[in-house]
Structure formats: C-alpha cells, structure tokens
Structure 1
C-alpha cells in the first residue's frame, strides 16, 4: 500500500521519508493521476477539515476513490459530535485519571502527534485518543472538577504545532511513516498485493490460535501475495491501512474485538469474524431460536427467566445443562441433576442475564467439531471430554484448565450427516469462519452450538490438512479482497 501525505503547501512540509509522496491538496482533488491510483493510504494534514473545505474534500474523495484516508470522514464527524465526546470521556475515565491524577492545575492540554505525546507518561492516554479518533494531529482539553474529564478534542494543522514541539513531531512522524512503510506498504515485502491484519492478544490464556498457527497463517498469506501483520488492541487506529482483518483473539460483543470488527467492516475491509457473526454466535438465545426455526437437530431447549424456572424440568428433564446466553468455551455453563441444584444454578446465572438457556443433557465421549469456512467444511476433529468430566475442558482445584484430547479426522471419513448438519447450521449465521459442535448419539445428530472465532492450533486442528488448512483460509481472504478491489460484489 503506497502512502501519500496531503498538505496545503508541500513546500512548507519539512519531513522527507523515502517512498512517501507529499502532494498538495489541490493537486490531490483535481489531478487525474490520483484518481487512478489503487491501494493508497492518504494522510490528510490540511489546515482545516471544516465541512466543504479543501481538507474535507481530500478525505471525501479519498474514500470515493477507494483510498484509505486518515482522518476518514467518519472521524471528522466524530470529532464534531458531543455524543462521541461523552462516549470517549466515559471510555477513557480510568486512563485519564491514571495519566493526569498528579497534575496540580485544574485544566490540562494534551497534544497527540501520531498517537504520541512529548511526555512518555501520557503516551498511553495519547494512544487511546488516537485509536478513538484516528487523526494525525490532535489537541485534547481536560478539566478537573471532582475528577478529570475530557472537555474537547479537535484536529490541529501543522501550522498550529508550537515551535518547541516541532522536533518531536518530526521524530514521531518519521517513526510512524517508516513503520507504516515496513508494516503496511509492501516496500521490501516481495510481491504482496494486499495487506492483512491479524488481531491477537499475546497475553490471552486460551488463545484461538497458538503461536505456531499464527506463523503458519502469515506464511500462507505470503505465498498468496498477502502481507499479514500481527496487531493488538493498541493498533485500532491502523485498521484503515489494511485490506482485511482476521480476528484471532476470543471475541465478545461488549469488547474491543467487536469494535475492531465493526470498524473494519465500516472501512470496507474483508473481515473474519464479521460483526453479525460475533453477535449471532455469542448469544445462545439467538442460536436456539435459529436452530428451531430451520428444523436443525438440537437438544431439547427451553428459554428460562425468573418466572418460569419451575417449568424447566417439564421441557428438558434431568440432568440438564444451563447456559448463560453469552457463555463460551464451557465457561458460564453448568449441569443440574436435581430440582435444588437447578434452582440454585439458575438463580446464579440470572444475576447476570434476564434469560438463561436450559437444554437436555446429551452425554457423549466426544463432540464433533466441524470447521466451516465460506459455506464449506474446512476441517473435522473429535473433541474428547476432559478426563472425568462431562465437558471438553475442566478447571482443576489449583485453577488450571485441563482439556480433553483433540483428534483430527479427514472430512470424508467423518459421518456425512454430522458434516451436513454443521454446514447447514453455519449457513444461517453467515459465510465466515465457524466451529460447529455436533453430537451423534443413538443415530441422532444434535447441533450443540455454532461458534465464531473457532480454535485453529498448530498440531491439532491442522493435523490432517497441514499447511493447506492455512492456505484455504487465506485463499478466501484473497478472493474477497480481489473482489472488493475490483468493485464486484461477492456472489
């Protein structure tokens, strides 16, 4: 992805970065050569982003041309929105206090240059503001009443940067653009045609992909002409630099993973997991209704609330499984074997949700896990129950998690009805990447749940396909990114 810096007067822009072209705003909006460029990142450093100003049209036309502007029109509007200011103030409350708590005055101005501040102690706050409002140069005003709060935030032109800040601005701008050239532009990166961000969390305990799998995804992407970079939650402002986002961190709706997905989709990136899939898969109430509506085999299910707990045994019997609507990977899931346990566990789960899912207990030695991608089966595994437990994972007394054995199976050796049910269930969620859990007991097939963000670990889910598993995932990204670039809708 090539980089343009757009300013009002290029002759007054003192920064020179190899491979980065500095152009005038008038030239960018009027010269035909810029309309024909593809895969361009535009850093808009005009004097003003006021509605219908030259700076406003630079970002507007960049979006129309399929370029990736910073700031985007959405960010420009967000910077003017009192509602967005309040949301940012609430979201950053703790970070603001950590950063400004020891300041003696009751007012404070924070300059944010490419996500950095002159004082290293304010870098965390500066980066979070940059992630919320991705614009190259920002000025934030804070006021202290009982606590510190964000009073205003606005973009600033280069000309308004104080003279004593200029050396620091040049330093961080050079670092930023040099980093973007290494990480997002294709310079020195072979023949890559597209850039893919892989969101991961190195500190996560139960990662959806281990380090070996992440490295295999990166190598597979490179084989197909895609440059894949690992990013973390601190790289929110970088999303617009990429053509695709692959989420390899456990997803939740009220979580930064969902915000990443929403933002990437809004920016026109190819996204797996897409926002709709995260919402649908994260809620067992939706899944229960979907499986029932489409007549897909599943355990007897009852949606319980505080006024109908006593009806649960009538519909699902004992023992039964109780689930929080947003439960994931065996957490927030309980088994009740008698009325007293049912009452206690249901009341406990209802403290966090108005509804609880109750299902008949279908015992088995293992669950079939069918990986589904783009409407087709990708891999099949047997997830065996943890030793001495009724789930695939259990927590020991010391707090450690123990997993059952994972056994990869060739797709054509798995029961056809199991694979068919999994693909059919996933089709009613979307066309992304899913892990469908299925039981086959006494000749019957039961879809237990459909998960977005399924585990793909080196040495486990890839045992049968090897590198081809990673290539198939990257091929889907490639096909969709090519379609986006050519302006075609996927069919």
Structure 2
C-alpha cells in the first residue's frame, strides 16, 4: 500500500485520508493523517468494497473521511473517481462529486454565492486594484480581514483548497471565477497557514469522530433558524430530535441557511424552519432531493401544502369534507356572501400560522379586504366560518398517525394565534395532547386520508368537528413539534418515531444503491 502517515494519533490516521497523485511530492506535513496516492485508493483492495462468496464487506471503516486533493477533477480522471468511489464505498469525501460538478459551472457558482454579494462589496471596496485573488485553505486565508468570506465560500462549496478571483466593474465587485487548487499551487509563504488550517480542521473532525458514545452510521442535518420567533420546534424539541437520532446511530448537525453548500456531505435533511415556496427552505429541500438525501419536508410536499388553492381543489376532487369553499377572484366577489354567509373567512393561498387569514364580519369589510388579498394573488380562498372551541391537529408521518392534539383559541379570539396589526404574535391558545386511542376514529381517518393525498412525509392536518361531522381545514407540511405541547402523550417516543423513519429510509436507499451497483 503506497502511503505515508504523518506523526499524530494513530487511531485517526486511517480515518482521515488525503489522496493525491504523488504522496512523495506532497509538500505539507500534517499530523494525524494518512497520505495516499489516487491510484492506491482506487485500486488497492484495502480501500475497496470486497465482493466474495455472495457477501459484501468494507475493508476500511465507513466513517473514514477522504480529502481529495488531486491536481485535477476532470470528468472520469483519477481525481473525479476518487470522490465518486469514496461516496460509493460509504466514506465521506471532500469534495463530493456534486461539488466537483458545481465547479464546472461558473454561472451556478455565481448563483450560489449571490447571498455573499454585500459581504464582498464591503470587504473589497477599500482595494485600489480592480482584480483580486483569494487563496482559501480549509476555510482560512492569510489575511484575517477575509477569513469570514473564506469561511463562507468553503462552507458553500466544500472544496478543501480554493482560489477565488474577484473583479471590480463600474465600482461593483463580483466573483469572477473560483477553482480548486493543488498543494503545489500553494505559495511557500502560505504553506505554514495551510498546514495550520488543515490540522485544526482535522482535529475538530477527529474529536467529533472518536468522542461519540455511539458509532454513527449516518449523518443527519437539521435545518433551523435561531432568529425565527415562531419556529416549528422549540430548542428543547430540537435537542430531543438530536438525542433520538444519536440513539439510532445517526450523527446530527444543526445547520442554517448559510450552510447550503454543505448539504451533499449529509445522508438526510430534516427541515425545522417554517417552509415557503419562494424561500431558502424550499431551495434546501430541492437541493437535498437532487443530491438523493432523505428529506423531510420534500419539495413536492412544500409546493402542495403551501398553496391553499391547490389543497381546496385536491380535497374537493377526492370528496374530503371541508367548510363551504369558493375560489374567489375579481369576477366573482359578489358570490361570496350569498354562498358562504357572514361571518366568512378569506385566506391568502400561502397563508400560515394565522397570517394571511382574515375574518369578514360585515358586507362593508369584504371589498377592501379581498382587494388587498387579490393584489398579491389572482385567486383567494373564501370559506364559511365554522365556530368551534378548538381545532384538532393530527400529525401524520410515513402514512401513519403519529400524534393528536387539540389547539385551543386565546380568550375572545377566533384563531389559534392572535396577532396585532403588524402581524406580530400577541397571544396563543393552549395545546392539549390527546392519546390516539381517545381520539374519535373519524378525526384520525379523515386526517390520514387527506395527508395521503399529498405524500408520505410529515404533515399536520387541521380539522374542525361540528357535531358528528368533521371538516378538513388544511394539510400542513412542516408541522409543529414543541417540547411540552405535541409530545405531551408520547414524550420521547415521538422523537424516536420521527428519527426512526429517517433511519428506515436511509437504510432503504443504501440497499437500493448496493443493489443497483451489483447489477452493473
């Protein structure tokens, strides 16, 4: 086996591999890693998946991290195949093949880095020249003024060694190009920093790898927004999701919108920020789906559940009972009151959390309020008002009922959340978790039937019960799970059930991948 191990923790050395064309020419001395040639990694049985006697086994631990620092990543070259086979072997390559493909499209790179525009302008504005090159080593650079930009570019693209070129045109800086570089491209005066950056990066990764109570088989990202005042899960619930995942041998990383470039390194994505279609949560879901991650909420569920017009048509087509509903537009406003009566409800198609939903008490209120809503959408949902003491919420996961709760209304209000004129939450009704066995069967049945029309994801179905009749109000993706509320009956079991679905789907994907590989 052609390799050399730098001094350091020998336990880590074969779990952290640097793959290059010529190990003997490698100029950097990085402790705690093994340097091997691309040819060795591609052809040596010690790194391959061994097929024999009808069985398959891995010679190298699945948790091995492979840092691909080959000179070139051109299609079907050795650098390309190192990352490709590392993924197939269940190792953790950096960069992944998806990142290599991204680097080939500078238009895509510019699109991915749009959110960095303000930072680029601020940092580069003082420069006298019109061209600027930034070398990035594991998220670090030689000039500390640019460390934040370097760190964000590294997190976005997940390529160890990068060179980014910026250009000023008409007093505006923009990213002109970005490319992977080889260790031989590192100037001698930068090598000390490159070694330090790599060492610190590996040290953190190594600690995470060896200090786990459980051996982690898979990596799960939980997307959240620490600044969201009304997240779908509170901090305690997020930690319970993490603990449940780790019990099932999944390593959890909490990520934010700045981490979109890191998605390909995970096996699954769990979105715990409020989802919208024209929103970063949808872009995360789309990218995760394209990268073949197990993802909840999947992009199709976000699209379907975020549009109340779609839901109204879907539920009507399948004869699901709902309040009397009219798809209102500029030409049928006069039908609303005769058909639905007063009071009635108007909803924006993408309304959520009691936002974009108004109650019309008088005929005089109707025209100004619906005109306001129609300025944002050509169609608006108009529904009869069904007064009830509470709304049923049924959580559906993987086409099975998971939890049931009663959402009560604040005193004197008609919605679960009462807001001021600026749409800020003033008060919220209480939540009472109800055992499935004590829930009317018709409530669970209609919730399950409705959610199954959307898919096999995670949904919260809102239902009003009037006498013996149940009416579906809406099917929500990204349902609330707050510690102390929805988990009141199941407690920690709720979190384990959700994480168990992730594990089941990841394992199914792995089996499908192995089956497809064995057939080729």
TM-score, normalisation: structure 2: 0.86
Contact map agreement 2:271 2:478 (CA 8 A) in 1? yes
Could you tell me how far 1:67 is from its partner in structure 2? Answer: 4.2
Give per-residue Cα distances to partners, 1:84-113, cap 9 Å, x unaligned: 144246443323223323333222222232
Give the alignment partner of residue 426 of structure 1, picking from 451, 468, 474. 451
Aligned residues: 488
Residues 310-319 or 239-248, more deviating: 310-319
Task: Give the root-mean-square deviation of aligned CA atoms.
Answer: 2.6
**Aligned-partner Cα distance in 2 for 1:114–1:43:** 11
**Aligned-partner Cα distance in 1 for 2:210–2:330:** 57
**Aligned-partner Cα distance in 2 for 1:427–1:472:** 18
Contact map agreement 2:417 2:425 (CA 8 A) in 1? no
Contact map agreement 1:251 1:453 (CA 8 A) in 2? yes
Query: Counterpart of 1:52?
Result: 76
Unpaired runs of 5+ in structure 1? none
Q: Mark the structure with the bigger radius of gyration.
A: 2
Could you tell me how far 1:222 is from its partner in structure 2? Answer: 2.4
Query: Counterpart of 2:518?
Result: none
Query: Counterpart of 2:401?
Result: 377
Give the alignment partner of residue 28 of structure 2, picking from 14, 23, 28. 14
Give per-residue Cα distances to partners, 1:314-351, cap 9 Å, x unaligned: 54333222222222111122122334322212222233
Give per-residue Cα distances to partners, 1:228-260, cap 9 Å, x unaligned: 232223333333333222222222222222222
Give the alignment partner of residue 256 of structure 2, picking from 232, 256, 263. 232
C-alpha spacing 1:122/1:220, structure 2 compared with 1 (3 Å): same
Query: Counterpart of 1:203?
Result: 227
Match status 1:4 vs 2:4: no
Contact map agreement 1:71 1:134 (CA 8 A) in 2? yes
Contact map agreement 2:308 2:350 (CA 8 A) in 1? yes
C-alpha spacing 1:56/1:488, structure 2 compared with 1 (3 Å): closer
Could you tell me how far 1:414 is from its partner in structure 2? Answer: 0.9
Query: Counterpart of 1:353?
Result: 377
Give per-residue Cα distances to partners, 1:336-383, cap 9 Å, x unaligned: 233432221222223333332222222211110111111111111000
1:442-453 map, 5 Å = 442-453=467-478
Contact map agreement 2:344 2:360 (CA 8 A) in 1? yes
Contact map agreement 1:189 1:227 (CA 8 A) in 2? no
Give the alignment partner of residue 116 of structure 1, picking from 123, 140, 143. 140
Could you tell me how far 1:437 is from its partner in structure 2? Answer: 0.8
Contact map agreement 2:106 2:178 (CA 8 A) in 1? no
Give the alignment partner of residue 191 of structure 2, picking from 159, 166, 183. 166
Could you tell me how far 1:421 is from its partner in structure 2? Answer: 0.9
Query: Counterpart of 1:296?
Result: 320
**Aligned-partner Cα distance in 1 for 2:198–2:407:** 49
**Aligned-partner Cα distance in 2 for 1:210–1:286:** 29
Contact map agreement 2:141 2:147 (CA 8 A) in 1? yes
Residues 231-240 or 403-412, more deviating: 231-240
Unpaired runs of 5+ in structure 2? 1-11, 50-57, 516-520
Give the alignment partner of residue 466 of structure 1, picking from 472, 485, 491. 491
1:318-467 map, 5 Å = 318-396=342-420, 399-467=424-492
Contact map agreement 1:278 1:452 (CA 8 A) in 2? yes
**Aligned-partner Cα distance in 2 for 1:402–1:208:** 16
Could you tell me how far 1:459 is from its partner in structure 2? Answer: 1.0
Contact map agreement 1:4 1:43 (CA 8 A) in 2? yes
C-alpha spacing 1:84/1:314, structure 2 compared with 1 (3 Å): farther
Residues 401-410 or 154-163, more deviating: 154-163
C-alpha spacing 1:88/1:211, structure 2 compared with 1 (3 Å): closer
Could you tell me how far 1:187 is from its partner in structure 2? Answer: 4.9
Contact map agreement 1:131 1:235 (CA 8 A) in 2? yes
Query: Counterpart of 1:310?
Result: 334
Contact map agreement 2:214 2:247 (CA 8 A) in 1? no
C-alpha spacing 1:321/1:180, structure 2 compared with 1 (3 Å): farther
1:9-158 map, 5 Å = 9-11=22-24, 12=26, 14-18=28-32, 20-36=33-49, 37=58, 38-88=62-112, 90-146=114-170, 147-158=172-183
